[in-house]
């Protein structure tokens, strides 16, 4: 029927087909909703040396690693948090009502647990906290800069760039 078709199209427009996670459009939509309420933490994470997995074990194995990481992330956060596939082997987490210190603790816990999972992959994390009135672009730029810093400083680590 028409309603279920519309729901299906909406789901396809807002979710990543490989992992079932939210996509950027859905992430941005939720950020706009929760930013009005105040504190919001954002984590960007990128799987370290993921290209090696695809190159040595094949893309099917790489896809399975992405699906398992997606499941791991969803299971590791609260129901109100949003886990999105940002692109390639990069993920983003939206943490409503979360201070930077709590976002940093979560990022470190996830980083360690992912390493312990033994999927053959580690992750670098960039953390930022939304500042009232800040643009999405500025927030994402800080989270991305923190992620880049984590990669630059040796990977498999968490970095934070405060705003203001």
Query: Helix, strand, coil shares of the chain as percentages rounded to 5?
Result: 50, 20, 30
Report residue 1's pLDDT band, with 50, 70 and 90 as the boundaries. confident
Taking residues 81-86, what's their average pLDDT? 97
Say whether 108 is catalytic: no
Name the pTM for this structure: 0.93
Cβ atoms 158, 113 nearer than 8 A: no
Chain CA centroid to CA 28, Å:
12
Residue 132 scores a pLDDT above 90: no
- Active-site annotation holder among 6, 64, 80, 89: 89
Taking residues 115-133, what's their average pLDDT? 93
């Amino acid at each position: 029927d028409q309603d279920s078709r519309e729901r299906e199209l909406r789901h396809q427009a807002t979710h990543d087909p490989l992992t079932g996670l939210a996509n950027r459009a859905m992430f941005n939509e939720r950020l706009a909703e929760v930013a009005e309420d105040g504190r919001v933490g954002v984590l960007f994470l990128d799987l370290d040396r993921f290209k090696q997995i695809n190159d040595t074990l094949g893309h099917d194995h790489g896809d399975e690693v992405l699906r398992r990481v997606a499941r791991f992330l969803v299971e590791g956060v609260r129901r109100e948090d949003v886990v999105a596939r940002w692109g390639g082997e990069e993920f983003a987490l939206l943490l409503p009502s979360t201070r930077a210190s709590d976002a940093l603790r979560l990022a470190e816990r996830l980083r360690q647990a992912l390493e312990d999972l033994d999927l053959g992959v580690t992750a670098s994390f960039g953390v930022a906290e939304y500042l009232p009135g800040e643009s999405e672009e500025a927030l994402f730029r800080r989270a991305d800069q923190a992620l880049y810093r984590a990669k630059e400083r040796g990977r498999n680590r968490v970095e934070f760039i405060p705003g203001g």
